[in-house]
Amino acid sequence: MKCMMEDLPEPLLGEVVKRITRASDRKSLSLVSKQLYTLEAEHRDAIRVGCGLGPATQALKSLFSRFPNLCKVEINYSGWTSSHGEQLNKHGIHVLSSHCPLLSDLTLSFCSNIGDSGLAYLSCCTKLRSLRFISTPKISWRGLSLVAVGCKLLSALHLVDCMAISIKEWLVYLGIHGSLEELVVKDCKEISQYDLLKFGPGWAKLQKFEFEINGHYWLTAPSDPSYVAGYPYSYDICCDNLKDLRLAHTVTDKEIGLRYLLGKCKALETLCLEYVFGLDENEMIALFQSCGNLKSISLRLMPLHFYYEHDHDFRTALTDDSLKALALSCPMLQVVEFTFTYCSPDYPTEIGFTQNGIVTLIQSCPIRALVLNGANIFYDSGMKGLSISQSLETLELVDCRSITDAGLDFIIQAPCLSNLTLRKCMRVTDKGIAALARSGKLESLTVIGCRQISQERVLGAAKSVHYSAEVESHDSLKGMKTQRK
């Protein structure tokens, strides 16, 4: 094997090395011969390092000297303890900036020793296009301003759990002089939705935007400092190129704050609204009617009080009128998630949607993937309605208490269904799983926290199965059992 590989022309051998993506495989390949060791180093364009790096600065210098063509670097200290030794500091960033001339993508996660002085070195990385800070507590607006000015090609910026960063000149500068196409801000307590409006003309270039607040976000009353009560109000901001929008855990009121995005975005392809307080149905209908390119929507809703002239209601913000607008105006819609939280199964009217509204949407659009979470309004008759869909390939049911074995008998008739997930569906039993097994059509089946379904029955019900008797998070692999035919 060694001789055969070494007999290949070096350009062809380089192409072979580039197509090996797993780090362990490339490491093994580099041990075969000195030639392959050298080629692997020359063609390595990405690296991820973390707690095992020590001493950090010297180790990085050695790594970067061996891999001169690195474009993508991730430094992740998640799980770090003092026993791992000193973390990377500003001197390590200096090594990074001086040894990686091609660096275009950098992620710094849980780097507690990197502050603004380190970002001064990072500002020399003139080819940097994508930058992610995750739980970097010492970085402030001062360091970010240096990066904004120095890294003129920066097109993607992620700030996650960066408690010392506030909005100062850096965002204003990027809005006027920068070329950001992707901006993600999550759980940065010094940055409010009103601060982000200072991005100004930068919104016109933006294609992806995410904003999320955690903690007691529902206690935060809207307080735009530029809002004047009693006067017509709108922001003179263009966001015609925004294709991907996610707002999570925010409170809006009337036209103020980031809510203005819902009235401006006409190029949206992906929309995710998670527990956004203050959604207005007429506003959402107008949005759907103007977003003919929408391909994916995720709505996570909880019931709130809605007051009318002579009455009040307690339900989620949107009704079947919104679903009708989606069905009529978004012919490209393919992925749908509806999550209903704190909606009591004893009071189905707390969910503004109806079963018929959801089924009509799925039958009207080419929906390939559907997630229903907490949909206590959805019954076996709804599963029968879904079974008519000619496009449905993936279905995930979470805490859908009204679905029984009869519902599985219906859904397995859906012509394209190949992936099914059941989480906390307490009325589904082994009998329903047996029907799935007899059909022999499922590629994958996931069953988690369904008390009346046994592991023995799940095994063999699909080509690939994932089973856990306990409730687990969506990303957890605990209790997984896999079987392939």
Q: Has domain 379-485 been given CATH number 3.10.180.10?
A: no
Percent pLDDT > 90 in the chain is: 64
Helix (H) or strand (E) holding 26: helix 23-30
The whole-number average pLDDT for the span 392-398 is 98
Output the pLDDT for position 62.
Answer: 86
What pLDDT, in 10s, does the model give residues 472-482?
Answer: 655 433 333 33
Output the pLDDT for position 484.
Answer: 37
Q: At a CB cut-off of 8 Å and minimum separation 6, what does 282 contact? A: none
Output the pLDDT for position 263.
Answer: 81
Output the pLDDT for position 228.
Answer: 59
pLDDT, the chain, mean: 86
| 252 — pLDDT class (breaks 50, 70, 90) | confident
How many C-beta neighbours within 10 Å does residue 109 have? 18
Q: Of 49-53, 307-311, 413-417, which gets the smallest average pLDDT?
A: 307-311
Domains 45-191 and 379-485 share a fold: yes
Output the pLDDT for position 313.
Answer: 85
Is residue 358's pLDDT more than 50? yes
The whole-number average pLDDT for the span 52-64 is 82
What pLDDT, in 10s, does the model give residues 119-132?
Answer: 999 999 999 999 99
What pLDDT, in 10s, does the model give residues 207-233?
Answer: 999 999 886 655 555 566 666 565 555
For the structural domain made of 45-191, what CATH number should be given? Answer: 3.80.10.10
What pLDDT, in 10s, does the model give residues 72-120?
Answer: 999 999 988 888 888 889 999 999 999 999 999 999 999 999 999 999 9
What pLDDT, in 10s, does the model give residues 426-483?
Answer: 999 999 999 999 999 999 999 999 999 999 999 999 999 999 998 765 543 333 333 3
| 46 — pLDDT class (breaks 50, 70, 90) | confident
Percent pLDDT > 70 in the chain is: 82
Q: Answer with the residue of higher pLDDT: 263 or 421.
A: 421
The whole-number average pLDDT for the span 302-324 is 85
Q: At a CB cut-off of 8 Å and minimum separation 6, what does 181 contact? A: 155, 156, 205, 206, 207, 208
Output the pLDDT for position 6.
Answer: 56
What pLDDT, in 10s, does the model give residues 21-41?
Answer: 566 555 655 555 555 555 555
What pLDDT, in 10s, does the model give residues 153-168?
Answer: 999 999 999 999 998 8
Output the pLDDT for position 478.
Answer: 34
Cα–Cα distance measured from residue 132 to residue 157, given in angstroms and rounded to the nearest whole number: 6
Output the pLDDT for position 320.
Answer: 97
Cα–Cα distance measured from residue 209 to residue 273, given in angstroms and rounded to the nearest whole number: 12
Output the pLDDT for position 27.
Answer: 60
Output the pLDDT for position 150.
Answer: 95
Which 3-state string (H, E, C) describes 63-119? HHHHCCCCCEEEEECCCCCHHHCCCCCHHHHHHHHHHCCCCCEEEEECCCCCCHHHH
Q: Of 3-12, 200-209, 305-314, 341-350, which gets the smallest average pLDDT?
A: 3-12
Output the pLDDT for position 221.
Answer: 56
Instruction: Give 360-365 contacts, CB < 8 A, sequence gap 24+.
Output: 360/323, 360/324, 360/327, 361/323, 361/326, 361/327, 361/333, 361/336, 362/336, 362/386, 362/389, 362/392, 363/388, 363/389, 364/327, 364/328, 365/326, 365/327, 365/330, 365/331, 365/332, 365/333, 365/334, 365/391
What pLDDT, in 10s, does the model give residues 168-199?
Answer: 889 999 999 999 999 999 999 889 888 888 89
| 261 — pLDDT class (breaks 50, 70, 90) | confident
Per domain, the residue ranges of the chain are 1-43, 45-191, 379-485
